[in-house]
Structure 1
Amino acid sequence: MASVICGYLPQLLCEFPSIDENLMRDFKKTVDAGFKAFVRSYGDILDTALQPLQWFLNWLQDLFVDTPWILFLIVLTAIVYFASRNMRITIGTAVSMALIGAVGLWEDTMVTLAMVTVCTLISIVIGIPIGILMARSDRVQATVNPALDVMQTMPSFVYLIPVVMIFGIGKVPGLIAVVIYAVPPMIRLTNLGIRLVDREVLEAADAFGSSPRQKLVNVQIPLALPTIMAGINQTIMMSLAMVVVASMIGVGGLGKNVLQAITNQFFTIGFLNGFALVAIAIIFDRTSQAYGKRLQKHTEVIHG
């Protein structure tokens, strides 16, 4: 049918006009050569700048792996209990971690926990200040939003290309790729939470003579905490999802096992490692949600 229609139309209307192949080839070569020249010139400087991050990640991973499992389990359940004050979540955490250890995935889970913890901390450190700047300035929001749109819609595998070209294979390149993928929800929800603070509350703070910094620290951030905690939840979930993809460039732990299961079609290994990832995600999610609700109630009591 299409060929019949095109028979009555000019060729220009049937075939989309494309850029000359030679021109596109030269453009791609120029961009690739420029990127490679940048890597040769500044790769060592970037590696040196990120060395402390490598040390911190290695230290945390060694701490998690070398700590006796019973001690780690006690500390983890204590943190979960004091954060959530919920026995169901605490018992669920203990049971889930015990099952993970029982199937022989304890060490890999510790490696993944260390990676997700560092990624989440970095995302919080980067995301909250940028979200605050976006909430304070419509111009900054209009500038940052397109970048966040690209970061959230770009296929996750694409992040690995420039990271590997600059930093090579290893934990830190994987860490950077995970942070790039996971930080947008932190930025967006921090911005949203602060913008949703009731204007009347801000006017009351102004009436009491609060400075912009006092309003931010004592009013806006406390009232935006539930939304910010939702951003932390989303960041954790996306970090866990990206850890599997980042295993392609040297990130170990559960993600590496899932990748091997996919490659070799090992259903049981894939299912067990997937279960461990889901258990970690639920633990983080339930604990942070409960902690956010407690903070919200505490803030409402203070401001009430």
Structure 2
Amino acid sequence: MTGWDRALAGEPWYPEAPAGHGGSGGFEDPAVLRPPDLGRAWHRDFHYPRGVVPLGAALVADLVRGAQQAVRTLRLSASGGLAARFVGPYVYLGTARADPPSAAERAAALADVRGYPARFRGHWAAARAELEARLRELEQAPVEDFDPPALGAYLARAWQVHARAWQVHFEVMYRLLASHELIRDELAGLGVDGDELLRLLHAEDNSVLAGDRALSALAASARRAGLAHLFTEHSGPLLPRLARHEAAAAWLAEFREFLAVYGQRCDALGDLTRPSWVEDPEQPLALVRMLLLG
């Protein structure tokens, strides 16, 4: 049977999987797509192009709960946030059901959004500091010394940080999107094409851009050191090849410094089968190779 056949037959997605669409606190948690869901619109989610393993279902739950919690506190529309359904290992997103906001709720939300640009920097700085501190605590924990109960507690803490990250994402994103639309409306009222806003507003620097610049700097450093041929003229793993060349020692020290800062990045979001860069350095080395070839 296919995953869809099993869903139609009422079988769980995986053994002991939750069967219903309800969740604690009234959240609409992820579940297998069932016939009653077919009257709602769903689209394949780009965050998980390869699907998820069963353990990864908790990551999807954090995403949709973050969205649903955000719209509960910013009552601008009838949307209940994101809902998720599984078809086999694949994740489909739709809109969670919710009652439309009252006039008073909508007025309060609009007042919140109008004042948010002035509060954004402080809100974002505090949330970022919180998440970075909690992530450092996880990264510095002596995991190799943990017994099974300690590992379980560590995993629970990691889930909590992941859930908090999605909460922050939607708290900030929904308010910024709403602010963007309010400005578009103001411009339209003045006879200005709303698309002009894209040229007026520019994103600030961020860690993703900083990581990309650091990768480019590594590629430039390899070229200056005469190491480009080690990346471009051979196939196979790059790290062992570089380690065999004494001339690459200084560059590898730079690379280790890069991993210490950006090593928790990954080539996929929320995919528990994909290692981070620090776990598999061949991933960022392959990107350096592409930069040298390009």
**Under a length normalisation based on structure 2, what TM-score does the superposition of the two structures give?**
0.28
Q: Specify which structure has the bigger relative contact order, considering alpha-carbon pairs within 8 angstroms and separated by 6 or more residues.
A: 1
User: Which structure dedicates a bigger proportion of its chain to strand?
Assistant: 2
